[in-house]
Structure 1
């Protein structure tokens, strides 16, 4: 079986590198930045900037939720200065934070309890708690939440007119060449 570190961290780094590469393409395009930054899939959903905030927060909080002795990463604030540069800086800071997490800081913690508070507006202010063991938390909650926000950001950019497709979602950062896939 793969180690907890291998299951938890590399996919997050890869996802952030790919969304950053796509965001750089949007930055180089003639698309309206202000429209993209405030775009939403639905009026009740949060805007594009929130998608980047949430995917980076989720990614950087996973290690400290598994191993509370690990610090949470301070990331650039998006509330005061939202721009593609700020979003890219936040993604880069999140990737840097994860790259220094050593395998031994997460491995052998698969059975560590992770308790999450869940606030749901639709529950009329009710607060619930859900508890996982770390392996289950990574597989069933944390990664699902992370990829939800990555996918939403990707879809907002595509809806804005950026010419991207599934290969960009999977490999926009060019971390694996298509020639390597055939080997």
Structure 2
């Protein structure tokens, strides 16, 4: 049996987002213990020319919900990019998870050949569904998830590989 587009996308994206919730929760605990304002944590970045934690989380969520919407033929929910603290970032992740949870495998049938066009200010990207998932969604999602992890780890949040990977192999 081949791997369906649904199984190659939604469970992976949901696992990553659930792990991000754990990571953000640990960041919130760290902020409380160290008496650091939640908005200061959310504005942190790895390098001056990189976007801050808030934008990393927003892009990870947008990538996940955009994937689910485009491949299933659903409307892509629009979320305002107005989060300024860890609690609001966690709420955004939860909203994204709620959208992904209502999607069903049948909605993804035939999406591997579906035309996907992404318009950005300086470029238009054209994909079929499978290439969109494998060449854009998954690398982009994991980049921003990893960068969010890296930002928080860099500022001292006690995180490890298990926090990033979450539950694997039944453990």
TM-score by length of structure 2 reads 0.89
Q: CA deviation at 1:78?
A: 4.3
Provide the alpha-carbon RMSD of the alignment: 1.7
Aligned to 1:54: 59
Distance in 2 (CA, whole Å) between partners of 1:74 and 1:34 is 23
Structure 2 unaligned spans of 5+: none
Q: CA deviation at 1:130?
A: 2.0
Distance in 1 (CA, whole Å) between partners of 2:14 and 2:48 is 30
Distance in 1 (CA, whole Å) between partners of 2:111 and 2:57 is 28
- Corresponding residue SS for 1:72: coil
Q: Which runs of 4+ in 1 moved over 6 A?
A: none
TM-score by length of structure 1 reads 0.84
Distance in 2 (CA, whole Å) between partners of 1:60 and 1:72 is 7
Q: Of 58, 70, 74, which aligns to 1:70?
A: 74
Structure with greater proportional helix content: 2
- Corresponding residue SS for 1:129: strand
Question: How many residues end up aligned between the 2 structures?
Answer: 166
Aligned to 2:91: 89
Structure 1 unaligned spans of 5+: 120-126
**8 A Cα contact 2:26 2:158, kept in partner:** no
**8 A Cα contact 2:65 2:100, kept in partner:** yes
Distance in 1 (CA, whole Å) between partners of 2:120 and 2:85 is 30
- Corresponding residue SS for 1:50: helix
Q: Of 107, 110, 121, which aligns to 2:109?
A: 107
